[in-house]
Amino acid sequence: MSDFGTAPLSPPLGSEAGFGRLRTGIADLGRGPSRAAPDPADTAHLVRIRDLVYQVAGIFQADSRLNFLSERCERRMKATGAGSLRDYYQSLTTSTNRTQELHQLLNEITIGETYFFRNEPQLSAFRQVVVPQLVHLKSRLPFVNLKIWSAGCSTGEEPYTLAMLLLEEANASMRGHRFEIVATDLNERSLEKARVGVYDDYAVRNLPNSLRDKYLRPSNGRYEVVEAVKKKVSFSRCNLADDARMVFMKAMDIIFCCNVLIYFDLASKRRVVQHFYSNLLPGGYLFMGSAESLFQVDDSFRLVHFPGTTAYWKPTAAQASGGKK
């Protein structure tokens, strides 16, 4: 599926992501000791690139981030030989390899900060409450297979952490049951790193030693995820703003989408969350980052409190009509 499936080639200026909100950003562009005054044609094309990124990936570059976008475009302009932002915009919209170039730009602008065992209260809620509850809910089926989606998995630390925790439950709540973790991101470079599964000290700093010793093995001064964990996780590219792709992410029991939607504006956040609601099976859970909430974004989910953390829950039909979990 092409990213252009969700983006008109000439994004409308003056749209939600359009000119009106950009005036300060444009004025700021070119400030700083080494920069000449910006060429108005360049700033207009930077605005168009910002609109394109918003429409394709849902990521809104606030005015304060226009210099960041400009710098990332310059990197790609060097790589592609584009002489100006106007030329670069053409290569993003009318060239034969525009989809690939757009992916390259998205690789440059997405931020992938992550590490193993990032949010301990959330992981405890996942392991101690949510997994046993969902296993119980599915226990009337011929076999239990939990399907978990790490949406915006960056370089893989989050889905690998979840796999480790479920493997730890092999003789407890997960005894005799199966699980699979679908891990997706927009950034192809991050996904490549995730598949390799080799990490430095920084990435593992929060991981309890017992898990580190069991599920990572030393590899040239770094750590490699062992095969038993790797094979539980499949990585693929999925743009959360691509409606056509999102409808295929079906029958999930649990979705983790942590520290991803902070880059989205309200309209694109709403769309993604509505997809998550449809993607989840009744009784399923959505976990978000510790600084994120669905307050005023979506009221289909029910907020559930756990010690030190919260999650969003999709009731089963019976639970919804009974009003209880």
What does the alpha-carbon distance between residue 221 and residue 272 come to, in Å, rounded to a whole number? 39
Among 61, 93, 239, 309, binds ligand SAM (CB under 6 A): 239
Among 29, 241, 280, 286, binds ligand SAM (CB under 6 A): 241
Residue 291 neighbours by CB under 8 Å, 6+ apart: 259, 262
28 vs 292 by CB, closer to ligand SAM: 292
Among 33, 36, 96, 113, binds ligand SAM (CB under 6 A): 113
- Total number of residues that touch ligand SAM (CB under 6 A): 25
43 vs 259 by CB, closer to ligand SAM: 259
Span from 24-32, 69-77, 180-188, 221-229 in contact with ligand SAM (CB under 6 A):
180-188
What does the alpha-carbon distance between residue 314 and residue 291 come to, in Å, rounded to a whole number? 21
Q: 120: how many CB neighbours lie within 10 A of its CB?
A: 12
Span from 73-81, 208-216, 235-243, 298-306 in contact with ligand SAM (CB under 6 A):
235-243
- Assess 310 for contact with ligand SAM (CB under 6 A): no
Least Å distance, CB 188 to ligand SAM, is 9
Q: Which of 15, 193, 188, 16 is nearest to 102 (CA)?
A: 188
Binding positions for ligand SAM, 157-176, rule CB under 6 A: 158
Binding pattern for the stretch 130-159 against ligand SAM, x by CB under 6 A and - elsewhere: ----------------------xxx---x-
Binding positions for ligand SAM, 190-209, rule CB under 6 A: 190
| Residue 86 C-alpha from the chain's centroid | 30
Among 38, 112, 156, 197, binds ligand SAM (CB under 6 A): 112
R_g of the chain computed on alpha carbons: 21
* Cα separation of the two ends of the chain: 38
Binding positions for ligand SAM, 36-75, rule CB under 6 A: 57-59
Least Å distance, CB 150 to ligand SAM, is 7
Task: Check: CB of residue 249 under 8 Å from CB of residue 276.
Answer: no
Residue located via tokens 């999102």 = 246
Q: Which of 127, 122, 133 is nearest to 283 (CA)?
A: 133
Among 42, 51, 101, 185, binds ligand SAM (CB under 6 A): 185
What does the alpha-carbon distance between residue 273 and residue 300 come to, in Å, rounded to a whole number? 9
Binding pattern for the stretch 266-285 against ligand SAM, x by CB under 6 A and - elsewhere: --------------------
Least Å distance, CB 291 to ligand SAM, is 10
Strand boundaries in 165-300, DSSP class E? 178-185, 198-199, 216-219, 222-225, 233-237, 252-257, 280-288
Say which DSSP state 207 is in. S
Strand boundaries in the chain, DSSP class E? 145-151, 178-185, 198-199, 216-219, 222-225, 233-237, 252-257, 280-288, 302-306, 309-313
Among 43, 67, 187, 309, binds ligand SAM (CB under 6 A): 187
- Chain residues binding ligand SAM by CB under 6 A are 57-59, 110-114, 118, 152-154, 158, 185-187, 190, 239-241, 258-260, 263, 289
